[in-house]
Amino acid sequence: MAPPTSSASHIVTLLLKFFNFVLLFISLIVLTTNTATAYTEDLTFKVRFNGIYAYRYMLATNVFGVVYTLLQIAFSIFHITMGNHLISGDGGALLDFYGDKVISYLLATGAAAGFGVTVDLKATFDAIGLVIDKSFYEKAYASASLLLLAFICTAILSVISSYAVPKKV
């Protein structure tokens, strides 16, 4: 016997949240391990992600996304197993709706900051003759790309959560 449609949609939503968490977690790992050695004829130094403000913002949005997604996964599992909302009344649907909106905007701006600063750093470093390993840029692009994919997942979740608001409110 097939489960009711609402149970199936809750499971699909949970799977999408889990996929979102995986994207955010991998993005976080790639970003935080991104270091390289830069050098000119006279100077050699380490370039780390945390020395660049846009990457710090990207890290912050990533951490907010991970925490929010973990909470949403916990709430979804509770809802599926217990058959009711953790937050009674209309608050749960509204929390999902507005939370998904805020987090999706944060993830989008974090990804944009990552892409933008990487392009600017490469242009600036090339202009001043600073040589840096190409993998630094590739890892930065990879992390920003994963963050962008996480934004897309969160935006889809936001649309799904918007369907529940009229039913609950």
Q: At what angle do helices 53-82 and 5-32 cross, to 10 degrees?
A: 150
CA 59 – CA 140 distance, rounded (Å)? 11
How confident is the model at residue 96, as a pLDDT? 84
How confident is the model at residue 80, as a pLDDT? 79
How confident is the model at residue 164, as a pLDDT? 74
Average pLDDT over residues 114-128: 94
Quote the tokens at residue 106: 């944060």
Cα–Cα distances in Å, from 43 out to 37, 51, 162?
Answer: 10, 17, 54
Q: In order of start, what are the domains of the chain with their CATH numbers? A: 5-168 (1.20.140)
Beta-bridged to residue 37, according to DSSP, are 46
Whole-prediction pTM: 0.88
pLDDT (tens digit per residue) in 5-50:
466 778 888 999 999 999 999 999 999 999 999 888 888 889 999 9
Quote the tokens at residue 1: 């016997």
